[in-house]
Amino acid sequence: MTKLSVNINKVATLRNARGGNNPDVLQVALDCERYGAQGITVHPRPDERHIRRSDVLALKPRLTTEFNIEGYPSPEFCDLVLSVRPAQVTLVPDKPGQLTSNAGWDTRSHLDFLQQTVGRFNEAGIRTSLFIAPEPEMAEYALKAGADRVELYTEPYASGYAADRAKAIAPFIETARYCREWGLGLNAGHDLSLDNLAYYHRCIPWTDEVSIGHALISDALYLGLKQTIALYLKCLE
Ligand code: PXP
């Protein structure tokens, strides 16, 4: 079964635009769970432009599904994750002011750093996932780093989908097959949507989890959160 983890960063962006607590990020997370989401993802960035440290602390004791915290493993980020102890941490190679994650790790050249960082989280009993491009070598070195899972960066799939979806998915299937063979867990995320999710899942049904934010929250403006989550879950049946 592939779990749907809703990334609620965009909800926090909307809240922060006015300075109050509307929409209430915690309530939205709890409602996502009530409507069937099997996980909640947040990406606290150093400038707190969407999810804040205080949101992360408030969410942890209230969530009943899998809590996934993603981000660049700066000392502050690692301290936060180690104190909150979510089910999963997803490490991304983002620079501080970056708009959104736009590349995976070069797990080969950062092997030592990743090994040390992943080791700290493993010791604390937190599942680790490394955000990578769909390249078998990057998955191989993620495994060497000790990661439990990789999250495949799906933007190239999403942007190539309309022109030729079979071609766009091919490198993902190849890398995903290696991951399955090596016993490496498999997540996916970035630019997944109601247009492209069902085909992705049909091609790689052994995906453990997808984390989806931008398109899902945008769809919810028209369809409402409850119906939107139901439609995303249907793509994963
Ligand atoms: N995975 C990672 C590592 C991300 O940084 C993001 C965006 O915060 C997502 C998944 C979700 O991408 P999207 O908002 O396009 O669904």
50 is catalytic: no
Q: Indicate the residue type of 178.
A: Y
Report the CATH number that the domain containing residue 110 is assigned in CATH. Answer: 3.20.20.70
pLDDT value, residue 149: 98
Give me ligand 1 centre to Cα 19, in Å: 24
Q: Quick one: CA dihedral 55, 58, 61, 62, positive or negative?
A: negative
pLDDT for residue 190 is more than 70: yes
Cβ neighbours of 185 (radius 10 Å): 19
Cα–Cα distance for residue pair 100/19, rounded to 1 Å: 22
- Counting the structural domains of the chain, the total is 1
Q: Work out the pLDDT band at 96, boundaries 50, 70, 90.
A: low
pLDDT for residue 99 is more than 90: no
Out of 43-47, 63-67, 100-104, 179-183, least confident range: 100-104
Q: Provide the domain limits for residue 11.
A: 3-235
Average pLDDT for 170-192: 98
Give me ligand 1 centre to Cα 154, in Å: 9
Lookup result for tokens 């949507």: 193
142-161 residues labelled b (16+ CB within 10 A) or e (exposed): bbebbbbbbbbbbbbbbebb
Q: Which of 43, 50, 66, 201 is catalytic?
A: 43
| Ligand 1 atom 1 nearest Cα | 189
pLDDT for residue 97 is more than 90: no
Cα–Cα distance for residue pair 30/33, rounded to 1 Å: 5
105-110-114 Cα angle (round to 5): 85
pLDDT for residue 25 is more than 90: yes
Q: Work out the pLDDT band at 95, boundaries 50, 70, 90.
A: confident
What mean pLDDT, rounded, does the chain reach? 96
Q: pTM to 2 decimals?
A: 0.97
| Residues 127-157 pLDDT 10s | 999 999 999 999 999 999 999 999 999 999 9
Lining residues, ligand 1, CB within 6 Å = 7, 9, 43, 70, 90, 92, 100-101, 131, 151, 189-192, 211-215
Please give the structure tokens belonging to residue 131.
């955000």
Q: Work out the pLDDT band at 78, boundaries 50, 70, 90.
A: very high
Tell which atom from ligand 1 comes closest to the C-alpha of 192: 16
Q: Is 5 helix (H, G, I), strand (E, B) or coil?
A: strand
Cis upstream peptide for 23 (omega within 30°): yes
